[in-house]
Structure 1
Amino acid sequence: MFEFTEEQEALRRHIGDFTRRACTREVARQLDESESYPFEIYAGMAELGWLGLPFPEKYGGLGGSAVDIAILIEELSRAMMAAAQVFGAVIYVGGPVMRIGNEEQRQRFLPPIIRGEMQLALGLTEPDSGSDAAALRTRAVRKGDRYILNGAKMFCSRAHIADYILIAARTDTEAPKHKGISLFLVPTGQPGVQVSLLKKLGIKAIGTCEVALVDAEVPVENRLGEENQGWPSLLTCLAMERFYLAAMCTGALADVLDLATDYAKEREQFGRPIGQFQAIQHKLADIYTDLQAARLLTYQTVWHTEQGNLDPKLGSAAKLFCSEAYMRGAMQGMQIMGGYGYMMEFDMQRHFRDAKLMEIGGGTSEIHRSVIGARLVAD
């Protein structure tokens, strides 16, 4: 049977202590309503060394495991989905730097990432390529010791506060679409990089942007990995994203259950707490059951990732189930709380808004069902 180590249980408690201080319900509500990036939470994580969890000690990291990372994400999401999202760029951008970057790039980028001194974003999705990510059209043309980038990226989280955006661009237009893609660390504060903040429904503390690249120049030394070899690294990112999002949804669902249970115990109608009515108990039981299943599926996926033998079906199953369980739980929580759940001053409505994105971002539910089904009939 899978068990956490004493060190991992201590990490979970430590994260809980941190979020109770730094990300109270009042803080989470204020960040959401003002659509403000959680810089103080990010700085607190850096101070505790957690931004270095995925990286070797050689670069100032902690050398943590995939299970350690999932625990951090789950507990941060239990406080606020956006608190875990700030860790996302560390995985999405820092991960490729570690895996395919050269030693000079690792030394240049990883220490400031770990210290919390460098903000990052990933630019993959485009206006005309979402689920079919490899159909991207952004072009990078080499001219001497530089590349000239032209194109557009859509739904780029954190780009408005990022120092660098990891841009996937096509460097060979004659190659098949999964070939000819290269990765570039593009500085945001330079001519030719235009970032526009978008208005959205949920996870408002993490800004989502459109990025326009107009003759943006990038030095060759900012290309990660070999030219035309970027897609395999992106696939690794997407595989890790599935357990990352599953852990996020699991943590957030735990908070949904807490909120709904507390309300059911306190709210009285017809002379007794509504939690004494079977109809309410059944809704709570459904949320609890989904939570236990989501947590087991998440950590099964994480364990296989750590062992290096993750079946893509399992990764897709984890993201699919956990995101839909979170959506179901948020809807049931709204129903339990009735009119109060619909009010902006209560946190259940934030879960309702945040949960919907989890069924879309990181691969829609339809895409993950297709991945699972196609592999089942092919195996």
Structure 2
Amino acid sequence: MARLAQTPGLTDLQQDILTAVREFVDKEIIPHAQHLEHADEYPEDIVAGMAGMGLFGLTIAEEYGGLGESLLTYALVVEELSRGWMSISGIVNTHFIVAYLIARHGTAEQRARLLPRMATGEVRGAFSMSEPGCGSDVAAIRTRAVPSAAGDGYVINGQKMWLTNGARSSVVATLVKTDLGAESVYGNMTTFLLEKSPGFGETAPGLTIPGKIEKMGYKGVETTEMILSDAVAPASAVLGGPDDGLGRGFAQMMDGIEVGRVNVAARACGISIRAFELAVAYAQQRETFGKPLHEHQAIAFKLAEMGTRIEAAHALMVNAARLKDSGQRNDVEAGMAKLLASEFCAEVV
């Protein structure tokens, strides 16, 4: 049987990357995923292996030490990683979004200072919009930054929620309110690159990561809160710099969300592919009424439906990634891919 979810038009380099990742998943992730998930244990060895393969710098430009690959390549890598264990994709996803934001919207100084260390995985990124009182409704954000008394930075107060990689990150792209006098609430939002030490507790003056949020699933990768209590950020921490970045936080974050939605679709595709692989293997192994399960028409129909859903979801995901890579808007297509792939994943699994 030909492998599902093939992507036409890939370069030899893209094929080589995906082959290497697929082998890594089969040898280093799948054999350990169940234990690590149940133990809620951070996969240190797997993460070290990914860093050694250059996956933390997959989309970072070569001039900063990365591989300079496309969103499509990244999405296909996420699909492969999620085929092994979805939590692994979470470890790289927020990092990827932050690297994308810095590369796309950061100043030359921000790019030169952060991207080389992000490419190696020395610096990990986290992404923060959600709060206890808001998720997708970013207009309801209450975390606020006001100019410091000295006038050389900002004082930030508020509470953030659901930071994937909140503890192990060293830079958090954080969307906050800034009173700039704009008529629209969205014109009064700014993204800050808050730098901190990895770990729990007060990891920078006024910035506290209290501890892990307990979850029913998606374990192994930590999800945290972030408390900002008179945290001071220099003006240079504004994504894009104070001259160009103030008031542009909403647009910047929505740009990042577009690539994040492609990632969610890729995760769902990867999980579906693994479920299909296991279903086919079992249907070939198990016998009832004197023949393998896959020779029963009802089971064959079920497998055909699973495969069709996977192919459709994969095609939408690839289309959304390629649109973004071409410089076009992909917000609608990325949302469609996320919706369909997630719904089909639930049905396939």
**Shared fold (TM-score greater than 0.5)?**
yes
The equivalent of 1:202 in structure 2 is 217
Shift of 1:59: 0.7
Aligned-pair identity in percent equals: 33
The equivalent of 2:193 in structure 1 is 185
Equivalence map 1:269-308=2 (5 Å): 269-308=288-327
Task: Work out whether 1:18 is the aligned partner of 2:18.
Answer: no
Task: Work out whether 1:244 is the aligned partner of 2:240.
Answer: no
The equivalent of 2:200 in structure 1 is none
Equivalence map 1:148-167=2 (5 Å): 148-167=155-174
Q: What is the alpha-carbon distance in structure 1 between the residues aligned to residue 71 and residue 98 of structure 2? A: 16
When the two structures are aligned, how many residues end up with a matched partner?
Answer: 329
Shift of 1:192: 2.1
The equivalent of 2:276 in structure 1 is 257
RMSD: 1.8
Equivalence map 1:109-128=2 (5 Å): 109-128=114-133
Secondary structure (helix, strand or coil) at the match of 1:197 reads coil
Shift of 1:133: 2.1
Aligned equivalent of 1:218, options 233, 237, 241: 233
Report the CA distance shift for 1:134/1:95 in structure 2 as closer, same or farther (over 3 A): farther
Read off the aligned partner of 1:179 and give its amino acid letter.
G
The equivalent of 2:15 in structure 1 is 9
- What per-residue deviation string (whole Å, max 9, x for no partner) do you get for residues 267-288 of structure 1? 3344443333222222211111
- What per-residue deviation string (whole Å, max 9, x for no partner) do you get for residues 43-102 of structure 1? 222212222221211111111122211221111111111122211122221111111211
Q: What is the alpha-carbon distance in structure 2 between the residues aligned to residue 162 and residue 66 of structure 1? A: 22
Q: What is the alpha-carbon distance in structure 2 between the residues aligned to residue 174 and residue 35 of structure 1? A: 45
Q: What is the alpha-carbon distance in structure 2 between the residues aligned to residue 116 and residue 77 of structure 1? A: 19
Q: What is the alpha-carbon distance in structure 2 between the residues aligned to residue 133 and residue 11 of structure 1? A: 36
- What per-residue deviation string (whole Å, max 9, x for no partner) do you get for residues 180-227 of structure 1? 111112234123222231111221112111222111122222221221
Task: Work out whether 1:147 is the aligned partner of 2:166.
Answer: no
Equivalence map 1:354-373=2 (5 Å): none
Q: 1:74–1:248: 8 Å Cα contact kept in structure 2?
A: yes
The equivalent of 2:199 in structure 1 is none
Report the CA distance shift for 1:28/1:282 in structure 2 as closer, same or farther (over 3 A): same
Secondary structure (helix, strand or coil) at the match of 1:224 reads coil
Equivalence map 1:46-125=2 (5 Å): 46-125=51-130
Shift of 1:135: 2.2
Report the CA distance shift for 1:7/1:164 in structure 2 as closer, same or farther (over 3 A): closer
Read off the aligned partner of 1:36 and give its amino acid letter.
E
Q: What is the alpha-carbon distance in structure 2 between the residues aligned to residue 41 and residue 258 of structure 1? A: 22
Read off the aligned partner of 2:239 and give its amino acid letter.
L
Task: Work out whether 1:168 is the aligned partner of 2:187.
Answer: no
The equivalent of 1:344 in structure 2 is none
Q: What is the alpha-carbon distance in structure 1 between the residues aligned to residue 258 and residue 18 of structure 2? A: 24
State the structure with bigger RCO (CA 8 A, min sep 6), 1 or 2.
2
Q: Structure 2, unaligned stretches of length 5 or more?
A: 1-6, 197-202
Q: 2:90–2:164: 8 Å Cα contact kept in structure 1?
A: no
- What per-residue deviation string (whole Å, max 9, x for no partner) do you get for residues 102-130 of structure 1? 11111111111111111221111111111
Q: What is the alpha-carbon distance in structure 2 between the residues aligned to residue 199 and residue 113 of structure 1? A: 27
Aligned equivalent of 2:37, options 5, 19, 32: 32
Secondary structure (helix, strand or coil) at the match of 1:201 reads coil
Report the CA distance shift for 1:310/1:100 in structure 2 as closer, same or farther (over 3 A): closer
Secondary structure (helix, strand or coil) at the match of 2:212 reads strand
Q: Structure 1, unaligned stretches of length 5 or more?
A: 331-379
The equivalent of 2:4 in structure 1 is none
The equivalent of 1:132 in structure 2 is 137
